[in-house]
Amino acid sequence: MFYRENGQFKTTYKADQQIFPITQDRVGVLLLIAFAFIGVPLLADEYMLRAILIPFLILSLAALGVNILVGYCGQISLGSGAFMAVGAYAAYNFFVRIDGMPLIVAVLMGGFFATLVGMFFGIPSLRVKGLYLAVATLAAQFFCDWAFLRITWFTHDSASGTASVSDLQVFGMPINTPFEKYTFCLCFLVVFGLLAKNLVRSAIGREWMAIRDMDVAAAVIGIRPMYAKLSAFAVSSFIVGVAGALWAFVYLGSWEPAAFSVDRSFQLLFMVILGGMGSIMGSFFGAAFIVILPVIINHALPWVGDLVGIPVSTAALTHAEQMIFGALIVWFLIVEPHGLAKLWSVGKQKLRLWPFPH
């Protein structure tokens, strides 16, 4: 009744090609962004911001990057954790070695170096495909784990091998309180979200999808596989690298290579698969599922235990959290193999007809 495009006529190409052709969508997304900027900081308490929303935003950004590579271009990568690490350590080195380095420039430089490393490790994608490529990108993961653990130059010769930053500020404004950190991350996410959405709608995005769907056919119609694949690696690594820098600088503050281990790569890949491959929206759903759900389970179980009168011990809680989480992943994959984003679009389709189903 409310959600339908009847009567919204497009009279210009510009109007026809906008990101959200339906007015309701446009308004909805603008409201959502406004809510994220204004409403959330008012409603959420410190724990919510620092322990849930900030990691959610940063990992959404990382998932967005991985989705471009895996979802749009079809190149399975297990090296995302490594690209995050490159972003984090490159940004760290720029930040501590160059006096007066602006934070945003440092973060973007992190993204730039992640791009270089990503493209280098993307070269095998020109020859190998699918699972073999996944194994080849795993090499990036192990190489970076090793490099950041053993080459002390990267950690500014810190004795313990941990890197840490403090006194973050942008244009003289400090980034210290949870609210400031949240807004900072949100700005990055909005900018890169918009960028990614436009990129995948453009010619290059179509090339990626053509490569994903059938690379031989794509080559036949004149798409250069090398250019398409490496550009996907570049764009993806850039976004992932920026996310890595934010994860290290804003969320952790002090980190060691274990923060970007192979587990992180898997986590990001799962986000993309669960959220929906080849969907910008899916990256957010996937990140929410992976970041927020375990915390909810962890909070809800003792409460449920109290209701039934069974005290839940700390160890049982963690084990149960992982079991329930695992079961939910399997269940969602069975009922909706195309990810949570598919559910979203099905919901929107239904809403168009609602409340008259025929």
Interface positions with another protein (CB under 8 A):
45-48, 50-52, 55, 96, 149-150, 159-162, 164, 166-167, 176, 251-256, 258-259, 292-293, 295-296, 299-300, 303, 313-315, 317-319, 335-336, 343, 346-347
Least distance in angstroms from the C-beta of 250 to another protein: 12
Which residue's CB is nearer to another protein, number 69 or number 287?
287
C-alpha span between 86 and 90 (Å, rounded): 6
User: Can you read off the two tokens belonging to residue 100?
Assistant: 């007066």
Least distance in angstroms from the C-beta of 207 to another protein: 34
Beta strands in 63-112 (DSSP E): none
> Which amino acid would we find at residue 170?
V
* CA proximity to 108, closest of 245, 231, 232: 245
Least distance in angstroms from the C-beta of 126 to another protein: 31
Least distance in angstroms from the C-beta of 296 to another protein: 5
Least distance in angstroms from the C-beta of 222 to another protein: 41
Least distance in angstroms from the C-beta of 314 to another protein: 4
Which residue's CB is nearer to another protein, number 1 or number 315?
315
C-alpha span between 57 and 183 (Å, rounded): 10
SS3 track for 265-333: HHHHHHHHHHHCCCCHHHHHHHHHHHHHHHHHHHHHHHHHHHHHCCCCCHHHHHHHHHHHHHHHHHHHH
User: Can you read off the two tokens belonging to residue 53?
Assistant: 């929303």
Least distance in angstroms from the C-beta of 316 to another protein: 9
Please give the C-alpha separations between residue 259 and each of 73, 129, 255, in angstroms, as whole numbers: 27, 28, 6
Which residue's CB is nearer to another protein, number 221 or number 315?
315
Least distance in angstroms from the C-beta of 14 to another protein: 35
Which residue's CB is nearer to another protein, number 126 or number 296?
296
Backbone dihedral angles phi then psi of residue 272, each to the nearest 5 degrees: -70, -45
Angle at CA of residue 266, ends 302 and 86, nearest 5°: 115
| Segment 18-23 long-range contacts (CB within 8 Å, at least 24 positions apart) | 19/194, 19/197, 19/198, 19/201
Which residue's CB is nearer to another protein, number 112 or number 260?
260
Which residue's CB is nearer to another protein, number 12 or number 160?
160
Which residue's CB is nearer to another protein, number 250 or number 269?
250
Name 30's Cβ contacts closer than 8 Å, sequence gap at least 6: none
Which residue's CB is nearer to another protein, number 145 or number 207?
145
